Amino acid sequence: MTRGAQTQASKAPEHPERGWHELDVGAVASALGTDPSAGLSDEEARRRLDEYGPNELEERAGRTLGQIIWEQVSSILILILVFAGGIAALLGRPYDTAAILAIVVLFVVLGVVQEYRAQKAIAALKQMAAPQVRAMRAGRVVELSARELVPGDLVLLETGAVVPADMRVVESVNLRAGEAALTGESEPVDKTTAPIAGADTQLGDRANMAYLGTSVTFGRGSALVTGTGMRTELGRIAELIQDVRHEKTLLQRRLDGLAKVLALIAVVIAALVFATGLARGEDTALILLTAVSLAVAIVPEGLPAVLTFTLALGAQRMLGRKALIRRLPAVETLGSVTVICSDKTGTLTQNRMTVLALRSPDAQADLGETLRERGPKARLELDDEAALLAPLLASGALCNDAILDPKTLEAVGDPTEGALVVVAARYGLDKPDLDATLPRAAELPFDSGRKRMTTVHEVPSGDLGVVEGLRAVADGRPYVALTKGAADALVERCVSLWSGGRILPLDDAGREGLGQEIEGLTAGGMRVLAVAARGLKELPGEGDAEGVERGLVYLGLAAMVDPPRPEARDAVATCKTAGIRPVMITGDHPLTARAIAADLGMAAPDARVLTGRDLEAMGAGELREAVREVNVFARVSPEHKLRIVDALQEEGEVVAMTGDGVNDAPALKKADIGVAMGSGTDVAKEAAEVVLLDDNFATIVAAVEEGRVVYDNVRRFVQFSVSGNVAKVLIVAIPPFFGLPLLLVPIMILFSNLLTDGLLGLGMGVERAERDTMRRPPYAPTEGIFSRGIAQHVTTIGPVLGAGMILVGWLAWRAAGGAGAVTATEEALVATTVFTVLAFAQLVRALSNRSFREPVWRTGLGGNRVLLAMIGAALVLQLAVVYTPFLQNVFQTEPLPPVTLAAGAAAAAVMLCVMELEKALRRRRTRPLVASPGEAGGGG
C-alpha cells in the first residue's frame, strides 16, 4: 500500500518553476515528493510537520502584549490615578504616592494578565473548533486536524468542508468551491484536474487549484497540498484581511462608558470640593488630599479585571455544558436571546428513524405493534401480501446511501435512509444483494431544497427475483430511475402508479386520495417519504434532475417515526418560563412538524404552521406580522431561514438560529447567535458563534442560562462596587464640612477598591445560576446595567453605608476628644477605624449580594466556596494592614483595640440587616417568577 509514498518520500517538496496550476497531476506529485493516490508516509509527514510547522495562520487578530499594556495604561482611570499620585507626591506623602503608583502597576498587570489569558482561552477554543480533515497517509484514510497538514498531503474533500490549505485538485466528482472570501466571486466555481496554461492566470480562474479559506459547496474530490499556513494565498494577504480591531463585547463597551462617566464625576466632585474648601479658607494640603482621595474613591479599579474574568469563565462553563463558544461576545449575547429557532431533526428529535407504516397501491403494513412486541430487531416474512410491497421496499433501499449490517439489522449513514434499508432487510431484502442485482449507474444526490433524491440503475437481462416488477416499471428501457423524497411533492410528480403488476394512470382524484393518505400519516408526527420510478433510455446528464424526476410511476409510501429527545421537552418548558420563544424550522411536512411541536409543548395541536411556499407568497410586512405568533415553519429551505431571522430581528427579537449545512451559513451569520451542529459542515461552524458538541436543543438553553449567569454576575459586581464607591465618596466629601479629619486616606481607598472589592468581585464572578435565572425575562440589549433595581440599590445602600461610616468616624473622633484635642496619631486611629469597619461591612455585603432577590439565609453561605475563600483572604489582608508594623507605616494605620473590632463586627451585622431589608422591599416592588415576557418583572 505504501509503495509510492515510500519511494518518493525522502525527496523534499520544491516549488516548481511554473505555477502549480500549469503542471499535470504527475508533475505536481513529483515536485511535492508524494504519491497522488497513497499520500505521504506517516514518517515523512511527521518530518515535514517539523520542517514547515503547523498549518495555521499567525494569529494577528489577537493584540500583542504591548498593545494590551498600552490599552490598560492609557485608560482614563489609570490617568486619573497617576494624576492623583502626582499630587500626593507634591503634598510630600511618599507612601501615598508610592502606593498609588504601585497599585497602578498592579492594576495594569492584573488587567493585562486577565486580558491576555482571556485572549489565549479564546484562541484555544478556536483551535478546538479547527476543522478535522480526511487525508490519505501511506495509502490509508486518516482523520486529522487541519493543523497537522503538510505540503504533499493528499486530502479528501467533500461537500461542506472548508478547504484547509492551498492544494492542487487531482480528482473532481462535480467538485465545486465557493471562493467569495478569497476572490470576491459569489458564484461557486467548478473544479477540474487538467493543467491550465498561463503563469499569470488569476486565482479565480485557476480551476484546478483549491485555496485555503474557500469551501466545498458541492461534490467531492481529492487534492494535493501545495502550501500550508502562511505559505498560502490567504496567508500572503492575511495581514491585510485580518481584523486587527479588538472585538469588545456589549458589556465591555457599556462598562467602558460607565467608567468614563464615573471618571468625569470624580473630576467634577474633586473640583467642587477643592473650590469650596478654598473658599472656606481651609488648609490647602488637606483640600488637595481630599480631592485626590475622592478621585481615587470613584474609580472602579477592579471592574475591568472582574469583567474579563467573568466572561472567560462563562465561555468555559458553556464548554462544560457542550456549547463551544467561538467568539467571546456570544457569551453575553446568549443571555439576551429572546427567540431560539431550531431545526427539528436531530436537535429536537433523536434522529433515530424507524419505519412504522408502508403503503403501496395493492398492500399495506403497520409495524408498530409488531416492533413493540418483538423488539427493534424483528424480522418479517415476505409472504404473498408482503410481496406486493417488494418494489417499494427494494426501491427505498436501492435509492439509498446507508450501509446495512444484515446481522444486527442496523444501518450506518443518514437515519432517514437507514430506516428504509432496515425495513427492507426485515423482509429479507438486504441492500447488498439488491445492489448486486440492479447495479447503480448514476445518481442525483439529495438536497434539502429539492427534498428528494434519485438513483439510476441498469436493468440486467437475467432474473431479478422479487424485484422483477421493476423491469416492468422500467417499461422495456435499459435503465430504471428510482426516486424517493418528501411525499406530498413527489406524488405531484407521479403520472401513473404500479398496481396489479401493471402501470395504471394516476389522475387528479387519485393524487388527492394519496394526499389524504399522506396527511393521515403525517398528522401523527411521522415523516412520510414517497417512492417512485420510471424507465430511462439513457443515463441522465449531470444535474439533470428536472428532466428525470417527472412523469414518475408511484410505488408507495414509507412513514417513519423519530421520537423527540426526552430532554428537549424540559428545555422547551424552561424557555417558556425564561421568556424565550422556541421556534421550529424544519424541512419536514407541516403536519409532522406540528405534531412533534405539540408533543414538545412548542405549539398548540391546532397551531398555525407556515410553509416555505407561504413565506414566498408573503411580503416583508406580512411576514413580520406572521413571525410574531407562528412557532412552526415547515417545508422550509435554508434560504427561507434568512428571511425568518430578518423578520424576527425587525420585530426586535434577539435570535439564535441553528443550522448544519452549507446553505445555512448566511442565516447563521445573520442571526444574533448562529448555532452550528457539531456534526454539521465546517462551513456552518465557521459562520456560527456557538457550536453544539452534542447537537442538542437542550444545550442551547443551557448556554443561554450560562449567558444570563455571566450577565448577572457582572451586574452583581457593578451593584456591589458602585454602591460601595458612592459610600466612599460620601465618607471623604462630607466630613470636612463638619470639621472632621479625613476619614479615609487615598491609600486606604485604593486598598479597599482594588484588593477588598477586587477579590470579592472575583468571588462573585464564579457565582452559579440563581434559582430564578430562567424564570425571568431576558435582558434586552438596550437595557442598561442599572435596570431592575440596581439603580435603587446604589442610591439607597450607597448613602446608607456612607452615612453609617461617617457616624462610625464621628464616634471615634469624639472618643479621641473631638475638635481641637485630636493628635495626628489619633486622627490615624479614627481613619483606621473607618477603614476597617468599612472592610467588615463590605465582606457581609458581598454575602448578601449573592442574590438579587433571595434573602441571605436562603442562598446560604457555602454555595460559593471561591467567594468564601476571597472573604477570608480579604479579612486576613485587612488585619495585616492594621496590625503589621511595616504595613502600618505604608498605610498610615494604627492598631485597633479588640473592642473596636467587636464594635465593627456589630456594625457590619447592622449593615447586613439593611441590605436584606432593601432586598425584601425589592421583592415586594417587583413580581417574581414571570412566565412570559409580557409580564416583565423588571423593577428598574
Ligand X SMILES: Nc1ncnc2c1ncn2[C@@H]1O[C@H](COP(=O)(O)OP(=O)(O)OP(=O)(O)O)[C@@H](O)[C@H]1O
Residues that bind ligand X (CB under 6 A): 343-345, 414, 416-417, 446, 448, 451-453, 484-486, 527, 529, 586-588
User: Residue 137 or 344: which CB sits closer to ligand X?
Assistant: 344
Could you identify the residue written with the cell 433523536?
Answer: 350
User: Residue 586 or 756: which CB sits closer to ligand X?
Assistant: 586
The continuous run of DSSP H or E covering 462 comes out as none
The continuous run of DSSP H or E covering 326 comes out as none
Q: What is the DSSP letter of 602?
A: S
Residue type, 710: V
| CB 177 to ligand X: min, Å | 23
| CB 400 to ligand X: min, Å | 7
Q: Cβ(595)–Cβ(566) under 8 Å?
A: no
The single residue of 35, 96, 153, 343 carrying the catalytic annotation is 343
Concatenated DSSP letters of 179-234: -HHHH---S-EE---S----TT--GGG-TTEE-TT-EEEEEEEEEEEEE-GGGSHH
The continuous run of DSSP H or E covering 354 comes out as strand 354-359
Alpha carbon 666 to chain centroid, angstroms? 16
Burial class (CB in 10 A: 0-12, 13-18, 19+), 186: exposed
- Residues 850 and 843: their CA atoms lie apart, in Å, by 11
By three-state DSSP, how is residue 373 classified? helix
- Residues 535 and 473: their CA atoms lie apart, in Å, by 7
CA-based torsion, 75, 77, 83, 85: positive or negative: negative
Catalytic annotation present for 366: no
User: Residue 350 or 796: which CB sits closer to ligand X?
Assistant: 350
Helix axes 250-279, 329-336, angle to 10 degrees: 90
Residues 6+ apart with CB under 8 A from 777: 578, 579, 930, 932, 933, 936, 937, 938
H helical segments located in 578-664: 590-600, 612-617, 620-627, 638-650
| CB 569 to ligand X: min, Å | 17
| CB 441 to ligand X: min, Å | 18
CB burial readout 221-260, b (16+ within 10 A) else e? bbbbbbbbbbbbbbbeebeeeeeeeeeebebbebbbebbe
Torsion of CA 879, 882, 888, 892, to 10 degrees: 130
User: Residue 562 or 918: which CB sits closer to ligand X?
Assistant: 562
**Cell numbers at 250, concatenated:** 456589549
| CB 705 to ligand X: min, Å | 24
| CB 326 to ligand X: min, Å | 21
User: Residue 681 or 878: which CB sits closer to ligand X?
Assistant: 681
| CB 225 to ligand X: min, Å | 32
| CB 544 to ligand X: min, Å | 18
User: Residue 183 or 448: which CB sits closer to ligand X?
Assistant: 448
User: Residue 344 or 715: which CB sits closer to ligand X?
Assistant: 344
User: Residue 389 or 453: which CB sits closer to ligand X?
Assistant: 453
Q: Which residues are catalytic?
A: 343
